[in-house]
Amino acid sequence: MGSILKREQVKKNIQYPYSSYSGHFCLGIIYDRVGGASIDETKTHTVDELHSITSVVGNFNFFVVEKWKIASDKGGSGNTANIGSIKNIADIVAGRGMFSKLGESWFDDYWMNFKKITVTNGTGRTNKIDNLIKFVEYRGGDIQEIVKMNNENSTDND
């Protein structure tokens, strides 16, 4: 029989075991595209000319937030269990993700078990739990603690 690894022991895509880190943070950079600049993207420049190159971005906003505070209950890509994030910029910067009222332990439990728990529905068919409401109900938690998401992205450049 193979051994079952707990999240605390897993080192996939990280240098040390998950539990050895004091936190898991995302560094975010939000910026505006600068309009109206006429830039020849094929032109090369010397290092001495760096100060005169017109920037295509500006109005930078840097922020750091714990990963669980901006996580959604959906995968980041369609074919893996990568953790997806919420979409609304104001909610991301403020750390108002779906788990932000539930807490980090709910986030860890949900993502450790993402699409691994199978339940039988009323018609006798089985389904894997793949959303936070079903998961919190299954675990006997309070679904009122799930932060409802505004999926509108607050950028003008999408």
pTM of the entire structure?
Answer: 0.75
Indicate the class that CATH gives domain 7-145: alpha beta
> Which position has the higher pLDDT, 13 or 57?
57
> Which position has the higher pLDDT, 128 or 79?
128
Q: Write down the pLDDT at residue 11.
A: 66
Residue 59 DSSP code = E
Total number of residues shown for the chain: 158
Task: Delimit the domains of the chain by residue range.
Answer: 7-145
Q: Say how far residue 110 (Cα) sits from the centre of its chain.
A: 14
pLDDT in tens, 55-77: 888 899 999 999 999 999 998 87
Q: Write down the pLDDT at residue 136.
A: 97
The confidence band for 127, taking pLDDT boundaries of 50, 70 and 90, is very high
Q: Which two tokens stand for residue 30?
A: 């939000």
Over 50: is that where the pLDDT of 117 sits? Answer: yes
Q: Write down the pLDDT at residue 2.
A: 41
Element containing residue 75 per DSSP (H, E)? strand 71-75
